[in-house]
Structure 1
């Protein structure tokens, strides 16, 4: 579904991502891990169109997307969450999902919400809220939600685009053990429903138990790729996370 070939991004004299190459298969949960400063979020920004490639290529569902802007990438079927949750704070949970649908071309957010408040759109939005276990708080103002529910709302809003591929950028960050387990169940349910997932996560316990395969970045370079069991025993990965003795 997603093919990355020698993806590279320079910021002046700094190379944040260097010739990263790997594929993501349809229906797979793929993890991108690495220490702080490894280039993980920059890589996600390249895939989602937030920043352009310096060189290399990214192909999604058979189409090159390396030079497309974020809204075009989203319309092709890639949804994304962010490290820092930023809902439309004054809108309800339901309206946040309606705003994320993006299917009707409008010039303003209020105009989009008016058009989306047709029954078929409301039914679709509530189905998404039900699947993400947010239906009980659909009328709550988004800024009043606790972090665990805000993380779910980010995913619900991304799902409103009807993506084929979902990018989760540290969606487990700051969650309690119970919230983490519940969100892991949601990700597995999405995969069962046909979603392909690419995620960034610092918590190794989560990635080892949730992902089918992992790619490890360190200082912008891919240093390993494989199953969780293979990654756990990889000397380069152990060195990147734990360091080596002098």
Structure 2
């Protein structure tokens, strides 16, 4: 579904992502892990079109995304969440999801809300809230939600784009153990519904138990790729996380 070939991104003399290559299969849950500063979020920004590649190629279902703007990438079927949760705080939970629905038709927030206030779109938005266990908060201003529910709202808003691939950028960060377990079940249901998931996560217990495969980045380079139990025992991965005596 997703092919990454020699993807690189430079910021002046800083190499944030360096010649990263791997594939993501349909309905796979693939984790991108690595220590702080490894280039994980920059990599997500490349996939979602938030920043352009310096070199290399990214293709999604056979279509090259190079040169596309974020909304064009989203329309291909790639949705994402962000490490820092930023809902439309003054809008209700329902309106936040309606804004995601409207992004399928236009790029203006207020125009998208006007378009999507019809009965059919309201029903679709409420279905997404039910799917993410947020329906009882539909009239609550988003700014009033605690972090755990905000993480779910971000996922609901991303799902409103009807993505085939969803990028989850540290969606488990800051959550309690019970909130993490509940979110794990939600991610599993996304795959059961036919979706492909690419996630960044620092909680190794979650990544080891949830992901089919892992890709490990360190200082912008891919240093390992494989099944979770193989990656866990990889010497380069251990060194990247814990340092070495050399």
TM-score bin (small chain): over 0.9
- Is 1:180 matched up with 2:188? no
> Do 1:47 and 1:66's aligned partners in 2 also have CA atoms closer than 8 Å?
no
Question: Tell me, what secondary structure is at the counterpart of 2:66?
Answer: coil
TM-score (norm 1): 0.98
**In the TM superposition, what is the alpha-carbon distance from 1:18 to its structure 2 partner?**
0.3
Question: Tell me, what secondary structure is at the counterpart of 1:23?
Answer: strand
- What is the rounded CA distance, in whole Å, between the counterparts of 1:155 and 1:113 in structure 2? 18
Match of 2:152 in 1: 152
Q: How does 1:134-145 map to 2 (within 5 A)?
A: 134-145=134-145
Q: Deviations over 1:208-231 (max 9, x none)?
A: 011000000000000000000100
Q: Deviations over 1:51-110 (max 9, x none)?
A: 00000000001100022110100011000000000000000000000001112236x422
Match of 2:105 in 1: 104
> Do 1:46 and 1:66's aligned partners in 2 also have CA atoms closer than 8 Å?
no
Question: Tell me, what secondary structure is at the counterpart of 2:79?
Answer: strand
- What is the rounded CA distance, in whole Å, between the counterparts of 2:65 and 2:115 in structure 1? 29
- What is the rounded CA distance, in whole Å, between the counterparts of 1:52 and 1:104 in structure 2? 24
Match of 2:128 in 1: 128
Question: Tell me, what secondary structure is at the counterpart of 1:244?
Answer: coil
TM-score (norm 2): 0.98
Q: Deviations over 1:140-191 (max 9, x none)?
A: 1000000000000000000000000000000000000000000000000110
Match of 1:31 in 2: 31
**In the TM superposition, what is the alpha-carbon distance from 1:3 to its structure 2 partner?**
0.3
- What is the rounded CA distance, in whole Å, between the counterparts of 1:110 and 1:219 in structure 2? 40
Structure 1 residue runs of 4 or more that deviate by more than 3 Å after TM superposition: none
What number of residue pairs does the alignment pair up? 245
- What is the rounded CA distance, in whole Å, between the counterparts of 1:103 and 1:69 in structure 2? 14
Gaps of 5+ in 1: none
- Is 1:10 matched up with 2:26? no
- Is 1:190 matched up with 2:152? no
Match of 1:51 in 2: 51
**In the TM superposition, what is the alpha-carbon distance from 1:236 to its structure 2 partner?**
0.5
Match of 1:222 in 2: 222
- What is the rounded CA distance, in whole Å, between the counterparts of 2:151 and 2:105 in structure 1? 25
**In the TM superposition, what is the alpha-carbon distance from 1:115 to its structure 2 partner?**
1.4
Question: Tell me, what secondary structure is at the counterpart of 2:86?
Answer: coil
Gaps of 5+ in 2: none
Root-mean-square deviation (CA, aligned residues, Å) is: 0.8
> Do 1:47 and 1:58's aligned partners in 2 also have CA atoms closer than 8 Å?
yes
- What is the rounded CA distance, in whole Å, between the counterparts of 1:67 and 1:225 in structure 2? 27
> Do 1:2 and 1:23's aligned partners in 2 also have CA atoms closer than 8 Å?
yes
Match of 1:61 in 2: 61
